[in-house]
Structure 1
């Protein structure tokens, strides 16, 4: 088939990897002028690790893996209150630090490089509109070109334009905001100190604010600042207006303690700053005719689950597997409807469990301790949990949420 994928991110590149291996004519369009290597640390968990191994990319992944050793909680004085090491045993659930941590840009490059030469990448353009015809989908691009495809796949993230076009102007978008929850990401230059280890550090501040630092290199630290806030200034800041977003967050984090003042000042000068409004994407159907969605465009679980990258990689694998199973040989066109239906039937039970309760959980964050006393109590509890070697990851992340679901195997997909 002739396939168009919109978005050269993790999910789009993973799908291009599989479909191009099957011999389909795959084009990936990306509005950015080159492969976007931005973004901070991400991970794979559970079935995402299985898919990576089936792709034959585990060794290449580990060569680029972030060297994070574990996760600690500190108080306002910087004193460690709890520590949770990474699970390096190869068995059981991952800890808060996965054994498969990597910078987003490195994973993007890894998937792209494994696909380049088989799939065609076109940068600096995007889908302007499309219309389904009897024999395909006619697509108009922003540069004025047009072409027709057997299948169009939206892999363009939680704010997907492809999804909005698929739904049509009279249908509300499927984005479900997690009210008032914001996270900003950026990096700051900070040379590693003698004796310092590669340990992720979280600090919980009063007013439902938090700072999270991760080191992936000797020269640079990743910063995540998050809050649950009803700040009008933050709410009204236009998405992508980094100056307005920075100013609003600087106001919210004023007096947060620990390293907040230093971090806020560094944030003002960060050229890789990105502010995310936490949200889910929930659709009754991921496909319409010859158009379908993969990754955050179709079923964003939000960063709060820790499963976004895994969902994108697994979803791409299952979509490709069902296409391989039902669209082989001369029956590709007639089998596409069956393949898209099977993709949803196989993967929706997984996504339903990952997304279950996330929206209501976000409302409960408003009852999280906000006072200095409440945070002190919480730190003591987390410290006890750490001392007893109970992994809190299963309380916060969704790796353990999926029950009675097994990653499908596709003999039709090329084995590595």
Structure 2
């Protein structure tokens, strides 16, 4: 195996996961992160399907279990706060067996790689530009320094700068779903249960509540609007206080405990809002540059498969690079061919399901709750959860070279 020198842009989940696998077999890795320190904020995420197998292969199952957020299941409530439907946990359920805060997973992956002889982290810097020369990619960093690498990996999220440098002119890289979300943390009170709680109100609006620790409750406000995309684009560029005011105005009449949730915006230290999109580009690599995770194929939070597909993608990319280290074009071609079917599957969201998630009227909300109650009475959700451990036809590849740390 030829030892590769690899630069990874982005120290979220996907980048350190790739660094883990590459360093294990002797490749030399540099991870550059634009933030001045590890960004450990963020909401609750989950690991599903073959992603659980990946963390087992990384020998991280017990460390992740120690940080899991325990949720009994999911509940749908009405405007009076009364529970109308209760669902359990499961591989394909609204809440999975492997729920974890984003910051905890990022810390685990970082701590597993930061002291490795083959891994170097650089914080507070970005890839300013790069040029491919002969058999190298020469990178200029934002501090003016230069270095050369065998491969540059863009693991810099759904708004990836690296992706913008390899796409053909005029590429349509996003599938817009017309869905917008904000989340923040508020002080926990006794009635905030450890159920993933769903509440819908007229106007295609929903509020979600989750509890991940004794002191904090997570609040998510979500709505669907396909008529005013420009308005929200402008909002994303506005000051945080202007963004908060928008969400107050949007949800002030939503009912349930909304007044308490919105009041929590005044003192929260963890607020974030975004448009929910999917990254659907056909181009994952060009020359010695390749995309990974959300930068390549963000499926959106609507699918619950963003973290899972990123972890699997890191394993597949590392495996193909190791098996074909002397033929990078072949390695990147095999990475695309192997992973693309899983990504296509993960990104499936029908317009019908989107309408079902965001009812327009109270009548439609009541009809959805009645249908869920009827399905639960028939036992269909429980039946499906019991047989959901292998619902994907995509089969996980096995790369024997990644099985053992050759330097240990």
- Mapped pair 1:115 → 2:107: no
**1:268-315 Cα distance to aligned partner (Å, 9 max, x none):** 432211112111111222110100001000011111111010010000
In the TM superposition, 1:184-223 aligns within 5 A as 184-192=182-190, 197-223=193-219
- Counterpart in the other structure of 1:344: 336
Structure 1, unpaired ranges of 5+: 88-92
- CA shift for structure 1 position 29: 0.6
Q: Distance in 1 between matches of 2:379 and 2:237?
A: 40
Structure 1 Cα separation of the partners of residues 398 and 356 of structure 2: 42
Indicate whether 1:9 and 2:12 are aligned: yes
Counterpart position of 2:284: 286
Residue aligning to 1:90: none
**1:185 Cα offset (Å):** 1.5
Structure 1 residue 192, shift from structure 2 partner: 3.6
* Change beyond 3 A, Cα 1:304–1:401: farther
**CA–CA distance in 2 between the matches of 1:342 and 1:295?**
16
Cα distance in 1 for partners of 2:257, 2:206 equals 11
CA contact (8 A) 1:70 1:97 kept: yes
**Which aligned pairs between 1:15-414 and structure 2 lie closer than 5 A?**
15-87=18-90, 93-118=91-116, 119-167=119-167, 170-172=169-171, 174-178=173-177, 180-192=178-190, 197-229=193-225, 230=227, 233-239=231-237, 241-327=239-325, 332=326, 335-358=327-350, 360=351, 364-365=354-355, 368-391=358-381, 402-403=392-393, 405-414=394-403
Q: CA deviation at 1:18?
A: 0.4
> Could you say what secondary structure the match of 1:64 adopts?
coil
CA distance in 1, matches of 2:173, 2:352: 19
Once the two structures are superposed, residues 344-380 of structure 1 have per-residue CA deviations (whole angstroms, 9 ceiling, x without a partner) of 111111111222345x457x52895322222122222
Give the conservation status (yes or no) of the 8 Å contact 2:24–2:404: no
Looking at structure 1, the residues matched to 382 and 8 of structure 2 have their Cα atoms a distance apart, in angstroms, of 37
Rounded to whole Å, the distance in 1 between the matches of 2:183 and 2:391 is 26
Give CA deviations for 1:252-283 in whole Å, capped at 9, x if unaligned.
11201101122112124322111121111112
Structure 2 CA distance for partners of 1:143 and 1:233, relative to 1, 3 Å:
same
SS in 1 for 2:302: helix
The 1-side partners of 2:187 and 2:383 are apart by 29
Task: Count residues in correspondence.
Answer: 396
Matches of 2:314 and 2:252, distance apart in 1: 42
Range with greater deviation from structure 2 (36-45 or 244-253):
244-253
State the distance in 2 between where 1:386 and 1:253 align.
30
Which stretch shifts more, 289-298 or 159-168?
159-168
Q: Quick check: 204-213 or 257-266, which moved more?
A: 257-266
